């Protein structure tokens, strides 16, 4: 089978891979840190891996609007970058498919994973940030401006600071990055979302009983523990409400959830499933994503494989 190339540029890392099969398998890959000249270094590393791919898939943070990258402030030089033009110049007649990282991850789940065979669905990414991909007629819907599914911009309370004020209201409350920031403010020391949720390695002895005992043991050892547990509960309640509202709007047959926060799937999935069952007239099936690691890179390969087809 022909070889395809995938490139994923995230907030802090670049992942590049080559696949010679129509499946989630890499025959070669390399990783880089983002920084100055991210695109030039990524393209040079990609050429070293495969100088003549049949197609290229490119997964990027932000969205592509009017030929430039928007909503990507965390990668130096990325906001406003004319990415489609630059990739066309780099690869000439070779097909190049570009999408944002969450849509790319959804493409991988559609082609090989938990969304395979689904006509109407949602892929929810719970990571450092928060976003969704909407699937209609078996395809990811980009929206009129390429920003469908950017649910981090949803307001939680009427009139609160929003996009025009430089804010991302829902993401600032329920993402992994937000949970870590708010948890650190409560506890007076750095802490990760995984530790708070019980999905990471705690620094203090923990109770390994089912149901989130790790998070309870960790915060019980720390000043402000009760407040931290309340923060986790508030975060999950707000997240569940927002996801249920999204399901009411789209009426999906399946909701697939991925991202780094799913290290605490045993805590998150029951909360979301219960609220969706309570609030959504026709609740979708709720499943964890197949691809926990490298989902956007695998999505870039899925985009490339579709471009070949």
Q: What is the pLDDT of residues 206-238, one digit of tens each?
A: 343 444 444 444 444 444 478 888 999 999 999
Question: Whole-angstrom Cα distance, residue 68 to residue 45?
Answer: 22
Check if the beta carbon of residue 211 is closer than 8 Å to that of residue 166. no
- Strands 56-60, 4-9: parallel, antiparallel or unpaired by DSSP? parallel
DSSP 280-301: -SSPPEEEE-S--SSHHHHHHH
For the segment 60-104, what is each residue's pLDDT rounded down to a tens digit?
988 998 899 998 877 778 889 999 999 999 999 999 999 999 999
Average pLDDT rounded to a whole number, residues 174-202: 85
pTM strictly above 0.85: yes
**Tokens representing residue 234 in the block:** 């508030």
Average confidence (pLDDT) over 14-41? 91
Q: What is the torsional sign of CA 255, 248, 151, 149?
A: positive
Q: Model confidence over 234-270: pLDDT tens digits?
A: 999 999 999 999 999 999 999 999 999 999 999 999 9
d(CA 302, CA 128): 23
**DSSP strands (E only) in the chain:** 4-9, 13-19, 28-33, 56-60, 63-65, 68-70, 96-100, 121-126, 130-136, 139-140, 254-258, 285-288
> How far apart are alpha carbons 102 and 176 in whole angstroms?
15
DSSP string, 130-163: EEEEEEETTEE---TTS-TT-GGG--SSTT-S-G
Specify the range with the lowest mean pLDDT, choosing from 195-199, 246-250, 261-265, 291-295.
Answer: 195-199
Q: What is the pLDDT of residue 263?
A: 93
Q: What is the mean pLDDT of residues 278-282?
A: 98
């Amino acid at each position: 089978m022909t070889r395809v190339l995938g490139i994923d540029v995230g907030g802090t890392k670049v992942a590049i891979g080559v696949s010679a099969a129509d499946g989630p398998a890499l025959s070669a890959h390399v990783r880089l840190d983002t920084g100055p000249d991210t695109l030039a270094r990524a393209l040079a590393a990609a050429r070293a891996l495969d100088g003549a791919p049949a197609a290229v898939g490119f997964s990027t943070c932000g969205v592509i609007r009017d030929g430039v990258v928007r909503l990507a402030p965390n990668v130096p030089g990325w906001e406003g970058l004319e990415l489609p033009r630059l990739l066309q110049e780099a690869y000439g007649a070779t097909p190049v498919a570009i999408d944002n990282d969450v849509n790319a991850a959804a493409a991988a789940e559609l082609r090989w994973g938990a969304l395979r065979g689904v006509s109407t669905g949602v892929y929810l990414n719970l990571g450092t940030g928060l976003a969704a991909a909407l699937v209609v007629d078996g395809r990811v819907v980009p929206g009129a401006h390429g920003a469908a599914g950017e649910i981090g911009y949803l307001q939680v309370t009427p009139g609160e600071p929003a996009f025009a004020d430089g804010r991302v209201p829902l993401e600032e409350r329920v993402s992994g990055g937000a949970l870590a920031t708010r948890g650190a403010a409560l506890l007076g020391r750095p802490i990760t979302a995984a530790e708070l949720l019980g999905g990471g390695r705690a620094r203090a002895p923990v109770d390994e009983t089912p149901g989130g005992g790790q998070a309870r043991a960790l915060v019980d050892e720390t000043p402000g523990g009760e407040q931290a547990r309340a923060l986790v509960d508030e975060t999950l309640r707000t997240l569940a409400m927002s996801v249920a509202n999204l399901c009411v709007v789209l009426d999906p047959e399946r909701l697939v959830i991925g991202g780094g926060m799913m290290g605490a799937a045993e805590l998150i999935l029951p909360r979301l499933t219960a609220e969706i069952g309570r609030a959504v007239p026709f609740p979708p099936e709720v499943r964890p994503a197949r691809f926990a690691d490298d989902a956007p890179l695998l999505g870039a390969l899925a985009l490339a494989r579709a471009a070949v087809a």
